[in-house]
Homo-oligomer: A and B are copies of this chain.
Amino acid sequence: MQQLILEDYAISVGDISRVLPLFLSERSYSSLLILMDENTRRDCFPLLEPLLPDGTPRQIIEIPAGETHKTVSTCETIWAAMLHAGADRKALLLNLGGGVIGDMGGFCAVTFKRGIDFVQIPTTLLSQVDASIGGKLGIDFGGVKNSIGVFRNPQAVFIDPRFLQTLSKRELYSGFAEVIKHALIADPGHWETIQSGDPAALAGDTQTILRSLGIKQTIVQADPFEKGIRKALNFGHTVGHAVEAWSLQTDRPLLHGEAVALGMIAEAHLSNQLTRLPDRALGDISRYLLHTYQLNALPEDCFPDFIERMQNDKKNAGGRINCSLLEAPGGARIDQYVSEEDIQRSLRYFNACVLRLGTRRE
Contacts and interface: CB of A to CB of B under 8 A. Distances in A.
Contact of A83 (B88, B138, B141): B141
A197 interface: no
Given A90-B317, A318-B30, A79 B142 contact: yes
A318 B90 CA distance: 9
A141 to B, nearest CB: 6
A10 interface: no
A330 interface: no
Interface in A141-166: 141-142, 144, 146-151
A86 interface: yes
A46 B47 CA distance: 62
Contacts of A314: 88-89, 113-114
Q: How large is the interface on A (under 10, 10 to 19, 20 to 34, 35 or more residues)?
A: 35 or more
A112 interface: yes
A135 B64 CA distance: 34
A317 B150 contact: no
A149 B111 CA distance: 5
Given A314-B88, A314-B89, A114 B83 contact: no
Interface string A181-223: 0000000000000000000000000000000000000000000
A312 to B, nearest CB: 7
A316 interface: yes
B148 A86 contact: no
A72 interface: yes
A90 B89 CA distance: 32
A76 interface: yes
A142 B83 contact: yes
A80 interface: yes
Interface string A312-351: 1011111100000000000000000000000000000000
Interface string A87-117: 0111000000000000000000011111100
Contact of A76 (B72, B115, B318): B72
Contacts of A142: 79-80, 83
A136 to B, nearest CB: 7
A334 to B, nearest CB: 15
A144 to B, nearest CB: 6
B86 A319 contact: yes
Contacts of A149: 111, 113-114
A83 B317 contact: no
Contacts of A90: 317
A316 B87 CA distance: 10
Contacts of A138: 111, 114
Interface in A34-84: 72, 75-76, 79-80, 83
19 contacts: A30-B317, A30-B318, A72-B75, A79-B141, A79-B142, A79-B147, A79-B148, A83-B141, A83-B144, A83-B147, A86-B312, A86-B319, A88-B314, A88-B318, A111-B148, A111-B149, A111-B150, A113-B149, A150-B150
Chain A to chain B: the 7 pairs with minimum beta-carbon distance, closest first: A113-B314, A88-B317, A83-B142, A114-B149, A111-B148, A90-B317, A80-B142
